[in-house]
Structure 1
Amino acid sequence: MEHLESWKDLLNPEFYINNGGFWLILFIIFAETGLFVGFFLPGDSLLFVSGIYAVTIITETFGSTGSDFLDTTILASAVAIAAVIGNEVGYWFGRKAGPALYKREDSLLFKKKYLFQAHDFFEQHGALAVIMARFLPVVRTFTPIVAGIVKMDKTRFLIDNIIGAFLWSFSLIFAGHYLDKLFMDQFGIDLKSHLEMIIIIIVLITTVPIIVKFFFGKSKQEEITEE
């Protein structure tokens, strides 16, 4: 077990895999999608790296099924369920306390601009925002809260929530697992030895839309200020 040496460890997927494995992964996914203070936690990179270690994670937790595919499916399914529950909690929080967040002052763990960005995203893409937001860091944390604030139909939200959670979980975890096998079999490259580069690439790919929006788009907050 590794000790937390700096705050940077909190952004390193391997830290969670090595120190908590299966159950900590589920909690991180729940927290990132269900608690607005979890927006800084690794999501996409954690799933991808978890896919690389899927068989090891399941074997150490329950014992291997003897099938890489089944082990990976068990992990992806559990993560998807944790993500669904997380979003439902976020939605419930939005319905109960969401409006008050617009009046809340910024703090270390809460930035109002993220709420406005999620609101803009939700307004632009409607119900599909719940599915699409899964693949966007920060936005996926605040979108279910916004859905609750605008009182999106509970059944519609649940359906989109489930679809988004399973697409997100299965695509990234299976990508990590099978790309690792592909690179090892075809090129003799062990992705486990290049995790830092992989994480950087994933972070860049998933944050580009947010960066573009931040620099070239106007948030709802800016529009209100101009008015």
Structure 2
Amino acid sequence: MDLMQFFDMILHVDTTLGTLLAQYGTYVYAVLFAIVFCETGLVVLFFFPGDTLLFIAGAFCATGEMSYPLLMALLIIAAVTGNTLNYWIGGAIGHRVFTHDYRWINKDALRRTHDFFEKHGGKTIILARFVPVVRTFAPFVAGVSDMTFARFQLFNVAGAVAWVASLVTGGYFFGNIPVVRDHLTTIVLVGVGAAIIPLALGGLYKFGRRVISR
């Protein structure tokens, strides 16, 4: 297998994980660790698989082909360290990212994430875990926005545990049910919407009270 074929299998790991397991055995743990680390740690690799990877890997744990506790531990570490690297890169570049033309950064995704961050603050680090693309840019924006490292890590670790645990466990119990597997993205986005709507309503309520009190 040449490098391009391997890279294509990585990009479509939701359908090729079984093949990777058959060919590489336990080395697949290192591959999955690297994918999660890169997807959360490098903004140029925002297109790497995330939610589907965790969910399908959980399904393979249910069949006994992978270890559930080992997978959980490795992917949580990958998610935490990936976000931390991204935060440091954002902090190093700083606000120049909005004024300079960095071709390796998707400006539309960056601004969407920045707007999301402005609305929801530190909770963005947790909520963004469940939103593709935004997940990759959120820690970068946190670094650009000068969020303190201690506060960032609080949300970072909480988000990583929630993201990995929910999707791997979901895959473990429901990954072999076709209707769930085929509509995973929709299910995840509905769940995120259910978490965001109360926050938005709470913000509107506070804003309304301030307007009325004037």
Give, as a single letter, the amino acid of the residue that structure 2 aligns with 1:136. Answer: V
- Per the alignment, residue 153 of structure 1 pairs with 148
Aligned-residue offset at 1:76: 1.1
Q: TM-score, normalised by structure 2?
A: 0.75
- Per the alignment, residue 197 of structure 2 pairs with none
Range with bigger deviation, 123-132 or 98-107: 98-107
Aligned-residue offset at 1:155: 0.4
Structure 1: stretches of 5+ with no match in the other structure: 59-70, 181-189, 211-227
Aligned-residue offset at 1:201: 1.2
1:39 aligns with 2:46: yes
Q: What are the Cα deviations for residues 101-142 of structure 1, in whole angstroms up to 9, with x where unaligned?
A: 2234474x5310110011011111111111111001000100
- Per the alignment, residue 201 of structure 1 pairs with 183
- 1:17–1:24 Cα contact (<8 Å) kept: no
- Per the alignment, residue 96 of structure 1 pairs with 92
- Per the alignment, residue 10 of structure 1 pairs with 11
Q: What are the Cα deviations for residues 41-86 of structure 1, in whole angstroms up to 9, with x where unaligned?
A: 110010000001126454xxxxxxxxxxxx3122112101100000
Aligned-residue offset at 1:9: 6.3
Q: Cα–Cα, structure 1 residues 154 and 169, in superposed 2: closer, same or farther, change >3 Å?
A: same
Instruction: Pick one of 35, 38, 48 that aligns with 2:55.
Output: 48
1:133 aligns with 2:140: no
For 1:106 and 1:206, the matched residues in 2 are separated by 31
Aligned-residue offset at 1:204: 3.5
Q: Number of aligned pairs?
A: 184
Q: Cα–Cα, structure 1 residues 53 and 98, in superposed 2: closer, same or farther, change >3 Å?
A: farther
Q: What are the Cα deviations for residues 24-54 of structure 1, in whole angstroms up to 9, with x where unaligned?
A: 1111000110000121111001000000112
1:116 aligns with 2:111: yes
Structure 2: stretches of 5+ with no match in the other structure: 21-26, 194-214
Q: Cα–Cα, structure 1 residues 106 and 89, in superposed 2: closer, same or farther, change >3 Å?
A: closer
Q: TM-score, normalised by structure 1?
A: 0.71
